[in-house]
Amino acid sequence: MIPADWIPHRREDGELLGWIRPEGTDWLAVDVLGREVTGPIDWLDAEAALEEHGIGWLADPWILEGESPSTGSETELLRVRIVEVVPEGDGRITVKVDDFGDMQRPPTQRYVLEWPLPPRLRPHRPGDPDGRTLAR
């Protein structure tokens, strides 16, 4: 649920980039996943930070921890893509197993997670599974 004092900030085309929320006498920018983009700053800087942060990063690969088929490893990592972000109401983030854009492939498994961003969903980092390697 989005707090009542969060003010939406949109691009010129109306797409939501995030919110600007009060932080003492300053403002703080928050992205569409509910993550803080800045520390306390003035309003115009918060707007600029959200504009610069954008939303293109939503299309990048992400890692979901603890959902992949059991491999006996201590930490199971699954490469996913974000399909949907719905911060309104109870809020949810829907991800799917990365299919690398293959339209001929059957639909991949989807997972519905809570919003804001849960700790088990994170951006892909070097060394994470690439989704194409069968074994290391």
| Model confidence, pTM | 0.85
pLDDT of residue 107: 83
pLDDT of residue 105: 79
CB 110 within 8 A of CB 95: yes
Which pair of structure tokens corresponds to residue 58? 């939503």
Separation CA 19–CA 60 (nearest Å): 21
pLDDT of residue 69: 56
Q: Which residues of the chain have pLDDT under 70?
A: 68-75, 131-136
- Burial tier of 20 (Cβ tally within 10 Å: 0-12, 13-18, 19+): buried
